[in-house]
Structure 1
């Protein structure tokens, strides 16, 4: 049976916390768990949101937060900029492909309306610790427009000094001067969308960007003092193979970003129209996809990266790796992070937020988003008020995803349940995972093993009441 050797894990968030070198992870085991499953940036996941949750429900959640006064923890802000200049065929994001540059300024005017409606409920100068601009391509906005956006946010909210200010970047849309301007606007973290350096793969997904361009931008970003730089990669793309992806990984290791996000491509052309331009016969098969993942894990951990969880890697001194070692990881709609769990205000088309025990999502189309704001309404069109069972299972799943362990007594006491009795069905389902060496059970807790950490989504899925009905909507676990 073919195996890969994994680098030592010096963290304490998994059940062992020994820092010893884990046993090889069999490729056959990865293949066994090559099934669809949620990414758990929330629980319940966004496919559970309902349209019966609307603006009034969201306003009530904001009012409850405002009533907490100074005791309320700092907010996070997410701003969705949906525009892209060109179409990437693999993309499943909510985006609008256009070369009409004036659309950006029009969008800013609507964002300003939404911010004012939020402030009317939250109160002006609510404290913000984290800001993230995503898309689409936030750098579709020019420097002046990004400056207007930041000024708008600073007028409405009180930003904590030294907090995270991150932005997603399409390397094809920036140069050295633009990076300098982003630093001047206060951004301290960058995420470069790379996906793959191989020219044939780039051609197949309609995203041509030479490696030399990314290397030059990385050098410039470092000289400007950005605190952390992330690179996004995707495996399972058309025309990828073991050798081509190994070359990309070698280049990324030479590039040496602070963080790497390694995503599995989910080919769902029935849901995402751009993917219909991808030729299915050019996609690597399941066996090749699993090999690419196995090789990537070995290559990146061998190059000194800490495996954070799921699809995240970081250098040992990066705050994400430090948080993992100290058991302080958290997970939200942007993936793994270091901020404590708290409220997230989402602005813009399709933005998903979390306030208290609720999730909410803005209108997905630009027309619907603008129409609601034209009526003076917050553009929330669906969401979810979490039940007691949802809150309990969220605690369990996030503990698994972020710390790799469960304390049955502590969780049972917090939610006034007998943990083993409440999750009797789930305990029965854990049997195969125990047999495969992915988890260990004791009388008082569950621990994800160092090998199981690479398949933690599969462990979390055992406790997910919602995904049992329909897993086909999700990406694959590996």
Structure 2
């Protein structure tokens, strides 16, 4: 019996992990002591550091005002005296890692996220980045990027970071419609976005990314079309077109516009129309929610099958070592994961006492590693092979689910591997769940994942 696209969306629009890691964070075993973490970091660097280096994600949590849609870890304040003490804590954490590594490490990249990294002054950011760079060997193809708020990313921010080697900037646009912006408390006129984009390109940035969201309150097909019309005039190199994640139990500010959210079927129409416009504009689909121009390194990585995914999303970086600095930051060192304390003050206190601020972690088993590799290939390449051992241990229930996906025209598979077809791309998270043994083992518990579609 055939099933319509609308019925598929209704069927599979269930809570699902985004798979920026496997196992996903709520399913970590939390069996990680600080001394064990140091050993994992050192082992990973010994195995991969010379060739691939390390990538740093630095969490800068402060924002001057609350965007009510936001699910990030942030602290709202207009008090900029918090900058220096926080940066001193991040640098102290970096020194802990230098001591654990016992060597001057190769640095493959830095990404500044938040919060609002451009809450921090150019002088504060210079202090932070310059010390890190001075204590590492910068690899020839190192990639430095940051997230900027168009309203407060100044020429000085852009110039200071450019002088430190940054060449990629990502602006959180979300939507250009005034009513939508008012509802989500993210008011930024087109003129400010254009100014921030033009200055970045004038200075010499080689990549400008826009983050857009579908499923926000008051969005319609007409508002999406108008937003993309304005985006087209600025022609960013990359566009992330995310599904709005509605989790009011975790982020109470989202309740303020709950009654004005588009229904599930309408939300998917917003995405399909946005994707159609992006295609007309010359953008190519990279994977879940990501698009780029054909000459962008992200698209080229997808084509040559070197695309990678981690806690920062899709990336061209080959590094298997991602160290997260700052409160709530997550580290991935291939053999294990760790997350810092979410709140700023406990994070700073732990770091200043001479310890890491890890509050949860996970040590990977070989089964975890095999499963992660399979899921990453599906998310990055939409196809994966599997060995006979994996094939034979999948279990009857999961094989039945795969056959169901195949009957619906979403995938094809055989004894060698699996391939996700064009019709299956919207359901890639659902498909990956078939292989998520840790989620299946804990299925009696309820986890706060956003819906898949």
Q: Is contact 1:115-1:156 (8 Å) kept?
A: no
Name the SS for the 1:62 alignment partner. helix
Name the CA distance, whole Å, in 2 between partners of 1:87 and 1:128. 33
Q: Bigger shift: 304-313 or 265-274?
A: 265-274
* Counterpart pick for 1:132 among 94, 105, 111: 111
Counting matched residue pairs gives: 448
**Residue 313 of structure 2 corresponds to which residue in structure 1?**
335
Deviation at 1:67, TM superposition (A): 4.4
Name the CA distance, whole Å, in 1 between partners of 2:309 and 2:48. 25
Q: Is contact 2:52-2:319 (8 Å) kept?
A: no
Q: Is contact 2:31-2:363 (8 Å) kept?
A: no
Name the CA distance, whole Å, in 2 between partners of 1:67 and 1:244. 51
Name the CA distance, whole Å, in 1 between partners of 2:246 and 2:330. 23
Name the SS for the 2:362 alignment partner. strand
**Residue 271 of structure 1 corresponds to which residue in structure 2?**
250
* Counterpart pick for 2:418 among 434, 446, 457: 446
Distance 1:111 1:260, change over 3 A: same
Indicate yes or no: 2:446 matched with 1:474. no
**Residue 98 of structure 1 corresponds to which residue in structure 2?**
77
Name the CA distance, whole Å, in 2 between partners of 1:199 and 1:44. 39
Name the CA distance, whole Å, in 1 between partners of 2:68 and 2:344. 21
Distance 1:69 1:474, change over 3 A: closer
Q: Bigger shift: 359-368 or 32-41?
A: 32-41
**Residue 163 of structure 2 corresponds to which residue in structure 1?**
184
Equivalences for residues 78-477 of structure 1 within 5 A: 78-276=57-255, 278-409=256-387, 412=388, 417=389, 419-468=391-440, 469=443, 470=445, 473-477=448-452
Name the CA distance, whole Å, in 2 between partners of 1:66 and 1:239. 48
Distance 1:97 1:369, change over 3 A: same
Name the CA distance, whole Å, in 2 between partners of 1:320 and 1:449. 21
Q: Bigger shift: 459-468 or 194-203?
A: 459-468
Deviation at 1:178, TM superposition (A): 2.9
Q: Is contact 2:107-2:137 (8 Å) kept?
A: yes
**Structure 2, unaligned runs of 5 or more:** none
Name the SS for the 2:318 alignment partner. coil
Q: Is contact 1:54-1:382 (8 Å) kept?
A: no
Distance 1:353 1:305, change over 3 A: same
Q: Is contact 2:60-2:326 (8 Å) kept?
A: yes
**Residue 14 of structure 1 corresponds to which residue in structure 2?**
none
Name the CA distance, whole Å, in 2 between partners of 1:158 and 1:82. 27
Name the CA distance, whole Å, in 2 between partners of 1:36 and 1:201. 25
Name the SS for the 2:210 alignment partner. strand
Name the CA distance, whole Å, in 2 between partners of 1:216 and 1:69. 41
1:334-386: per-residue Cα shift (whole Å, max 9, x none)?
11111225111111101100113100001111111011122211111111011
**Structure 1, unaligned runs of 5 or more:** 4-24
Name the CA distance, whole Å, in 2 between partners of 1:418 and 1:337. 27
Name the SS for the 1:188 alignment partner. strand
Name the CA distance, whole Å, in 1 between partners of 2:56 and 2:147. 14
Name the SS for the 2:233 alignment partner. helix
**Residue 56 of structure 2 corresponds to which residue in structure 1?**
77
Name the CA distance, whole Å, in 2 between partners of 1:159 and 1:48. 35
Q: Is contact 2:107-2:136 (8 Å) kept?
A: yes
1:281-309: per-residue Cα shift (whole Å, max 9, x none)?
11111121111011111111222111111
Deviation at 1:268, TM superposition (A): 1.1
Q: Is contact 1:66-1:123 (8 Å) kept?
A: no
Name the CA distance, whole Å, in 2 between partners of 1:282 and 1:418. 45
Name the CA distance, whole Å, in 2 between partners of 1:127 and 1:66. 9
Name the SS for the 2:182 alignment partner. helix
Q: Is contact 2:126-2:160 (8 Å) kept?
A: no
Deviation at 1:459, TM superposition (A): 1.5
Name the CA distance, whole Å, in 1 between partners of 2:121 and 2:218. 34
Distance 1:48 1:439, change over 3 A: same
Q: Is contact 1:124-1:157 (8 Å) kept?
A: no
Name the CA distance, whole Å, in 1 between partners of 2:26 and 2:64. 28
TM-score by length of 2: 0.94
- The RMSD of aligned alpha carbons is 1.9
Distance 1:202 1:66, change over 3 A: closer
Name the SS for the 2:124 alignment partner. helix
Name the CA distance, whole Å, in 2 between partners of 1:90 and 1:418. 40
TM-score by length of 1: 0.89
